[in-house]
């Protein structure tokens, strides 16, 4: 197997670049220079950065390089959409072991390119260094197209809480993967869809700008779990956010626990002024109340498990 050590830094860069489109809608000057030049017609640019670490955010035996590439791009573009912007570009910095097959990195690049195509963006540049643990650090840029950015601090009592995208699918997929059922069997079960959801999420990119246009008062990307992330809206807005389990779509995930606490689906949650007519992408799941900043489930504090915390310590 041809490894990174075999082809060297510049060889690897050439091989990766060959997999990526040289131009894109917003890409005025791509990689190959000190910096890329990306269109920012709005005169403001939205930027977000996120990092995936092997062993912590993905496992090579559970996810293909292509999945990892899609996931890294998707979770960053979801942040851009959650501000009400459209993704324009992705920059990627990689730590790669020298004995890693070149084909793994090529498939990773294919994953970046595929998710960029879904989101309407381009890979604009990157960096690669050799190290022990595969690390995928991605930064996404986006254009607001004249919209005001939708923040976390605008939710008001009486607002409707709604979600676009899936809740709990990735967590169910992870649970299946961790259950030690032979993979050959898993793929044939309905588990397959959940596992796919865990391997690479499908955030509802268009729903972000759509919500901004509808006057969303707050919005964010659900990365750590619905309840954990709504906590940020409650804190920033000074409100109580109440989720009604009767309104959640539980047809797929069986238990509300997955929908309430499962992370990494990168759904969007937003609050809208009362009476807003919501298009099909958005599903009403609760309401905003006056009260000390908190998230409640059917009016009560949640006493089940809490969302994923990267440092393993509750910081909420």
Question: Restricting to residues 215-234, which ones interact with its own copies according to CB under 8 A?
Answer: 219-221
φ/ψ bin of 158: left (φ > 0), alpha (ψ from -120 to 50), beta (otherwise): left
From candidates 236, 250, 252, 281, binder to its own copies by CB under 8 A: 236
Total residues contacting its own copies (rule CB under 8 A)?
A: 80
Tell me whether residue 4 or residue 167 sits nearer to its own copies (CB atom): 4
Sign of the dihedral defined by the CA atoms of residues 284, 191, 260, 225, in that order: negative
Laid out side by side, the sheet with 122-130 consists of 122-130, 86-96, 135-143
CB nearer to its own copies: pick between 35 and 279: 35
Q: Establish if 264 lies at the interface with its own copies (CB under 8 A).
A: no
Binds its own copies by CB under 8 A, chosen from 19, 53, 196, 293: 53
The CB-side HSE value for 16 (13 A sphere, CA atoms) comes to 30
**67 near its own copies (CB under 8 A):** no
Nearer to its own copies, 17 or 196 (CB): 17
Should residue 281 be labelled a site residue for its own copies when binding is judged by CB under 8 A? no
Residue 233: left (phi > 0), alpha (psi -120 to 50), or beta? alpha
Does position 206 interact with its own copies (CB under 8 A)? The reply is no
Considering only the stretches 35-43, 66-74, 114-122, 249-257, report the one whose residues sit in contact with its own copies under the rule CB under 8 A. 35-43
Which residues make Cβ contacts (< 8 Å) with residue 306, sequence separation at least 6? 225, 227, 228, 261, 314, 316
- C-alpha span between 240 and 289 (Å, rounded): 5
**Is 287 in contact with 159 (CB distance < 8 Å)?**
yes
Binding to its own copies by residue 298, rule CB under 8 A? Answer: no
Region near its own copies per CB under 8 A, out of 59-67, 120-128, 162-170, 192-200: 120-128
- The sign of the CA dihedral 95, 100, 106, 107 is negative
Tell the residue number behind the tokens 């860069």, with chain if given: 13
Q: Which is nearer to its own copies, 82 or 295 (CB)?
A: 82
Q: How many CB atoms lie within 10 A of CB 296?
A: 19
Per CB under 8 A, 57 contacts its own copies: yes
Note whether 39 binds its own copies by CB under 8 A: yes
Distance in Å, CB of 178 to its own copies, minimum:
19
Among 21, 22, 59, 98, binds its own copies (CB under 8 A): 98
Looking at beta carbons only, is 4 or 287 nearer to its own copies? Answer: 4
């Amino acid at each position: 197997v041809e490894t990174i050590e075999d082809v060297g830094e510049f060889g690897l860069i050439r091989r990766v670049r060959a997999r990526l489109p040289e131009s894109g809608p917003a890409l005025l000057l791509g990689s190959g220079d000190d910096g890329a030049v990306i269109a920012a017609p709005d005169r403001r640019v939205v930027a977000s950065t996120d990092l995936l670490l092997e062993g912590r955010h993905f496992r090579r035996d559970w996810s293909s390089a292509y999945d990892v590439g899609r996931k890294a791009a998707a979770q960053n573009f979801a942040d851009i959409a959650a501000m009400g912007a459209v993704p324009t570009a992705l920059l990627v910095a990689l730590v790669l072991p020298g004995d890693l097959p070149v084909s793994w990195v090529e498939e990773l690049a294919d994953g970046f390119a595929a998710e960029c195509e879904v989101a309407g963006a381009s890979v604009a540049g990157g960096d690669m260094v050799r190290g022990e643990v595969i690390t995928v650090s991605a930064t996404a840029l986006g254009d607001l197209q004249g919209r005001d950015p939708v923040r976390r601090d605008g939710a008001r009592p009486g607002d409707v809480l709604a979600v676009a995208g899936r809740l709990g699918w990735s967590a169910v997929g992870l649970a299946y993967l961790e259950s030690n059922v032979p993979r050959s069997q898993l793929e044939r079960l309905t588990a397959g869809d959940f596992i796919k959801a865990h391997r690479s999420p499908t955030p509802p990119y268009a729903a972000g700008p759509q919500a901004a246009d509808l006057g969303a008062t707050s919005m964010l990307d659900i990365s750590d779990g619905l309840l954990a992330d709504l906590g940020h809206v409650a804190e920033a807005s000074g409100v109580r956010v109440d989720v009604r389990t009767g309104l959640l779509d539980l047809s797929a995930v069986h238990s509300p626990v997955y929908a309430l606490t499962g992370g990494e689906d990168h759904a969007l949650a937003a609050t809208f002024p009362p009476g807003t007519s919501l298009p099909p992408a958005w599903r009403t799941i609760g309401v905003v109340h006056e009260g000390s900043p908190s998230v409640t489930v059917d009016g009560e504090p949640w006493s089940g498990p809490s969302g994923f915390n990267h440092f393993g310590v509750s910081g909420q």
